[in-house]
Chain A
């Protein structure tokens, strides 16, 4: 079976500095993969490479292969807007646009030229429901998204990604700026989404990784030390480095 997303011998250099040293990882459809590892282990770099966010950084060199549905995403004919619609990203700090909740969620579709009001209404509602924030915002859809709490803003950002029907959702420490209640709402949201979307999340919260992910990849110094079922990683990892990190002996 072909993989939805696959990286082979992926190297990323910032100038002379080799941040990723040959990553081979692949992702099937559905499920949540957690990327864990100490600060500076380049897990976020890896995540950002998956929808070409690193293109924006000067002096970056990328070698190796990243294929999404067997297409090389770094091929010259790749359309970045389409790629990022298919592989959406949610960041650490909730970053709603400074306009209404409705317009935030509808943004991607409007950008793509969608004008059918009824269709937009329907997608906004479905996306906000999927992101588990609909009940809280349905009566204020036309108020500024910036008036929401951090946790609500983050779920609106997830809805914004969902509105353009992605295949893969990348999350870069999506709850590290949130309080425990909001974090737990985001976690429940992700658990509901894991059947329909492939979710890859970077987290420093090991308990979060063990609670919600199906698979965990442990990064250290730009390499994947171990990738396996989350249960295996948290109960009986194969590598000592993994065990030491997971049980807080370093990092």
Chain B
């Protein structure tokens, strides 16, 4: 039986997927802008960040409304709760993409280190792929794919540590790279945080499917 509630839930579900795609695109754009030293694209990301925040607020209001009017239970409730929780994770991931855009603007015109930027590009691609996989796992409601998201975390942490060491070494030998190197560290940290938030989304997908609240990082 098709319920009125199913239409409301579909609308919420689609809204969340759209926001996921939006955040995924913004992360991709922020990484591309950083790699290509594209100040204009970076500025566009900063100017459009409010759109992600507005979507978060809309989805939250819609979730509260559904809970109040329909009093969902069992898997219906889990679906609403998943969106209510995961939407904050998406918004925070979006904030870190905005931080990367700020870094792009700050670095522009300063002495750079090509080697470190190559590493950051690799790290950025790894992160954007992971974000896309997380959104796909949500669309497919795929618990196994959601659990697999955590595997990229270790790789990203290794990248970040390597980039930080390289940045400090560069600063020690050439003070001119200071601004760029500090931003390299920040961008690497932002990418790790983005992956963290999308891992949280994965945890909510597992909750949606099973009712279990888990910590993927502790399960490795």
Contact = CB atoms under 8 A, between A and B. Distances in A.
B1 A246 contact: no
Contacts of A236: 74, 211
| Residue in A210, A243, A248 whose Cβ sees the most chain B Cβ within 10 Å | A248
Nearest to B76: A247
Nearest to B6: A249
Nearest to A244: B1
Contacts of A249: 1, 3
A234 interface: yes
Interface size class of B (residues with CB under 8 A): 10 to 19
B18 to A, nearest CB: 25
B219 interface: no
Given A235-B77, A235-B211, A236-B211, A247 B72 contact: yes
A22 interface: no
Nearest to A251: B1
Contacts of B211: 235-236
Interface string A220-251: 00000000000000111100000100111110
B74 A234 contact: yes
Contacts of A206: 73
Interface size class of A (residues with CB under 8 A): 10 to 19
Contact of B3 (A207, A246, A248): A248
A247 B75 contact: yes
Contacts of A235: 73-74, 77-78, 211
A210 B72 CA distance: 12
Contact of A243 (B1, B3, B5, B74): B74
A185 to B, nearest CB: 21
Contacts of B78: 235
Interface in A160-196: none
B48 interface: no
A243 B75 contact: yes
Nearest to B77: A235
B74 A246 contact: yes
B1 A234 contact: no
Interface string B69-113: 001111111100000000000000000000000000000000000
Interface string B31-53: 00000000000000000000000
B198 to A, nearest CB: 25
Nearest to A206: B73
Nearest to A210: B73
B85 to A, nearest CB: 15
A248 B76 CA distance: 10
B2 to A, nearest CB: 9
A234 B3 contact: no
Given A234-B73, A235-B78, 13 more contacts: A206-B73, A234-B74, A235-B74, A235-B211, A236-B74, A236-B211, A243-B74, A247-B74, A247-B75, A247-B76, A248-B3, A249-B3, A250-B1
27 contacts: A206-B73, A207-B71, A210-B73, A234-B73, A234-B74, A235-B73, A235-B74, A235-B77, A235-B78, A235-B211, A236-B74, A236-B211, A237-B74, A243-B74, A243-B75, A246-B73, A246-B74, A247-B72, A247-B73, A247-B74, A247-B75, A247-B76, A248-B3, A248-B5, A249-B1, A249-B3, A250-B1
